[in-house]
Structure 1
Amino acid sequence: MKGLLPACVWACICACLPSVGAAQGSSTAPVPAASVAAAGHFLAEAKQIVNAAEQPAAPWNGPRKGPRAQPGKHIAIVAEDLRNGGIVGVVDGVLEAAKVIGWSVKIFDDGGAPNLQLKMLAAALASRPDGLIIVGSDAHALLPGLEPFAEARIPIVGWHVASRAGPVPGTPVAMNVSTDPLEVARVTALAAIVQSDGHARAIIFTDSKYHIAQDKADAMAAVVRACSGCTLLEMCNVPISRSEERMPGTTRALLARYGSRWTYALAINDIYFDYAAPVLTQAGWPNTAMTMLSAGDGSESAFLRIRSGTFQTGTVAEPLNLHGWQLVDELNRLFAGESVTGYVFPVHLVTAENIGADGGDRLLYDPANGYRDIYRRIWQRP
């Protein structure tokens, strides 16, 4: 899926890939003029894409029509881990929208423990909901627990439950609400290339337990490898649910292994940097010695780091509250016997230059495009 990356960038990626090994393996070999031109073209296109992603939120381009509010529904939310700022932001959005549309909500949190996921789904089913929202878990991994909902004809929608937005094939999840995860990842990696002027030496942090996380990490790796002057030092698999426990030691080990060769940290979620940044500070690293960029989700701590210039320079933030409203709208359409919208919100890169816009003063990305009023009109709610 090429998304917002122009064909010329992908052509450049393909052209650059064969030269990466040579570029990283030997500093004495002459660089062909064609390779220099290709690298320059790649960097110029990367700058265009990153600049577009940094612009303030565009006017609303999502749905404007749909069924009126289906009243009196009881909704169950099964959250992957409410310690994760992205998940909390989405749940808050659902609660805000549910109050407007007139629904009651009960939340079930598995705390990131795999052995509790199916138990929380069973508890949610026992609450006899009219609809189910799953937030942050892999839909395919949850399939045994989702099937009873499907058998009871309870509609299901989710957030970040698969590697693509839209219906999740092979599962009863009618809609996965998300920005395009691969575009999020590519913009993150391109931002690192732009900020380093094509010389990033990067480590990528991911959680291979989730398909969406690994797909994002692989997409970032592909872009870094396509940059002839960049180096992918390592890809680190650290479970998100154990990031507080694992990231300090992992960061210290990586510092010992790579030292000043490590200049860029890329991650599939801001939470990794919550525990890596203090280690860098304790090790005496100045903020300019390491640059952190995240492919989601735009947490409060990430906004604080970007505002203060503490290592992190960007996050491709999700419109978490908006996504919560979209989940409610998609579920309302299913209750009314209509199809989901399939709407995918555009990718947005938050940096120090634009952090004051679109909710940044409240430490979140909340697009100023009037989505709340639009959904109220769709639902015919005051």
Structure 2
Amino acid sequence: MRGFLLALACACELSAATAQDLLPAPRTAAPVATTDFLAMAKRVVDAASRPAAPWSGPRNGPRAQSGKHIAVVADDLRNGGILGVVDGVLEAAKVIGWRVKIFDSGGTAELRLKMLANALAGHPDGLILAGGDAHALLPALQPFTDSNIPIVGWHVAARAGPVPGTPVAMNVSTDALEVARVTALAAVVQSAGHAGVVIFTDTGFRIAQEKADAMAAVVRACSGCALLEVRDVAISRSEKLVPEATRALLARYGPRWTCALGINDIYFDYAVPVLTQAGIRNAEMIMLSAGDGSESAFLRIRTGTFQTGTVAEPLNLHGWQLVDELNRLFAGEGVTGYVSPVHLVTADNIAADGGDRLLYDPDNGYRDIYRRIWHRP
């Protein structure tokens, strides 16, 4: 116990980026004193809530490899995170001088394989995967490798960087476990250490399950909190399944359910109407998401409608990074491996860093930096 608290204190003194050191591995965390836990967790949450830090990514690299044709296979464009990343790719591609064709898999396994086959048939110079699981898609990715087509992805594995055992040279992402832990710590802080938590996840994705496990570990480590349930709901079927699940959870737990955590904002799009219809007041339920910072999430946070936070990813920036990583591969260079810092959006900071446009877009000059790297005006 004493060693755990010391590790937490040290991590808080540094930044929210070291929050993975706050807890033991999932399912092994022991509850800690609420007062100490709250004080130290608050430091982590405050650090993650600060305005965007100055750019810490690459400043040098190959000039634009112009005239490329890129295929983007999106797992599901109904997902606000994926849509935001694709928008960033399109914006960056226009600057660097590439043509882009988008293939939407609609969140289904059959369409993923079909869209990858369609993308390959177009003989692209490079492939960008927006969502999905690189390991699960490995057989469909192998033909791209056989044709010497480089591949980068967004949220296609549990860790940022090259994806071992696959041809994906770079998985662009924030630190998924760090995102999850900051999200859960924010729930602990906002509930003053007395959250009754339900976690929404999608076990069809490894990254989603690991996020859920990390959030659960935080909740279990809080002596005054209760982990009521981890609810498995397929993101692709959330419109149909979440309302039914929300009604069932309200019936089962009643006033004990005071906090909903999700691995994605999309769950709350369909839970909020049910809560409102059931007469639940905003003050009776807090919602926080471990990604991705959708427009609807920003609106809920701004209006105080249940959702109090989202660890929003810099989706547009990630789109630019995907283009830059692919450009480096075209030039015969290695990827950067850059990982963006974790940022928690709340009502207190939502006006900064793109919040007025209902997204998290760090005000750190990344567009100009990438233009200089590519030698583009």
Say whether the fold is shared (TM-score over 0.5). yes
Match of 2:224 among 203, 222, 229: 229
Tell me which amino acid in the other structure corresponds to 2:155: H
The match for 2:6 is none
1:243 is aligned to: 238
Distance in 1 separating the partners of 2:286 and 2:35: 22
Matched, 1:4 2:18: yes
Q: Is the 8 A contact 2:292 2:310 kept in 1?
A: yes
Secondary structure of the 1:56 match is coil
Letter in 2 for 1:133: I
* Partner residue of 2:44 out of 38, 44, 49: 49
Partner of 1:184: 179
Give me the CA root mean square deviation: 1.5
Match of residue 288 from structure 2: 293
Is the counterpart of residue 315 in structure 1 residue 315 in structure 2?
Answer: no
Structure 1 residue runs of 4+, over 6 Å off? none
State the secondary structure of the residue aligned to 1:5.
Answer: helix
Partner of 1:128: 123
**Structure 2 residue aligned with 1:24:** none
Work out whether residues 23 and 218 of structure 2, in 8 Å CA contact, stay in contact via their aligned partners in 1. Answer: no
Alignment partner, residue 331 of structure 1: 326
Q: 1:276-332: CA deviations, max 9, x gaps?
A: 000000111111110000000000000000000000000000000000000000000
Give the AA of the match of 2:19. L
Kindly state the Cα deviation for residue 45 of structure 1 after the two structures are TM-superposed. 1.2
Instruction: Tell me the distance in 2 between the aligned counterparts of 1:333 and 1:183.
Output: 27
The answer to whether the 8 A contact 2:89-2:320 is kept is: yes
1-structure distance, mates of 2:266, 2:20 = 31
**CA distance in structure 2 between the aligned counterparts of 1:116 and 1:17, rounded to whole angstroms:** 40
Of 151, 156, 161, the match for 2:151: 156
Quick check: 1:147 aligned with 2:160?
A: no
From 77, 94, 100, give the equivalent of 1:99.
Answer: 94
**Which residue does the alignment assign to 2:193?**
198
Matched, 1:217 2:230: no
Report how far residue 6 of structure 1 moved: 7.4
CA distance in 2, matches of 1:201, 1:149: 47
Instruction: Give the secondary-structure state (helix, strand or coil) at the position aligned to 1:174.
Output: strand
Per the TM alignment, residue 168 of structure 1 is displaced from its structure 2 partner at its CA by 0.3
Q: 2:273 aligns with which of 255, 263, 278?
A: 278
- Superposition deviation, residue 116 in structure 1: 1.0
| Distance (Å, rounded) in 2 between the aligned partners of 1:345 and 1:311 | 27
Gapped regions of structure 1 (runs ≥ 5): 21-34
The one-letter code matched in structure 2 to 1:265 is A
TM-score using structure 1 length = 0.93
Output the amino acid matched with 2:197. A
1:208 maps to 2:200? no
- Give the number of equivalent residue pairs: 362
Alignment equivalent of 1:304, drawn from 299, 304, 312: 299
Which residue number in structure 2 is paired with residue 25 of structure 1? none
| 2:90 maps to 1:77 | no
Confirm whether residue 108 of structure 1 aligns to residue 103 of structure 2. yes
Partner amino acid, structure 2, of 1:136: G
Matched-pair contact (CA < 8 Å) for 2:197–2:226: yes
Conserved 8 A contact 2:20-2:181: no
Distance between the aligned counterparts of 1:40 and 1:307, measured in 2? 29
What is the CA deviation profile of residues 23-47 of structure 1, one whole-angstrom value per residue up to 9, with x for unaligned ones?
xxxxxxxxxxxx6xx4322211100
TM-score where L is the length of structure 2: 0.94
CA distance in 2, matches of 1:237, 1:5: 25
Q: Deviations over 1:334-357 (max 9, x none)?
A: 000000000000000000000000
**Equivalent position SS for 1:4:** helix
For structure 2, list consecutive stretches of 5 or more residues without a partner in the other structure: 1-10, 12-16
Distance 1:52 1:289 in 2: 26
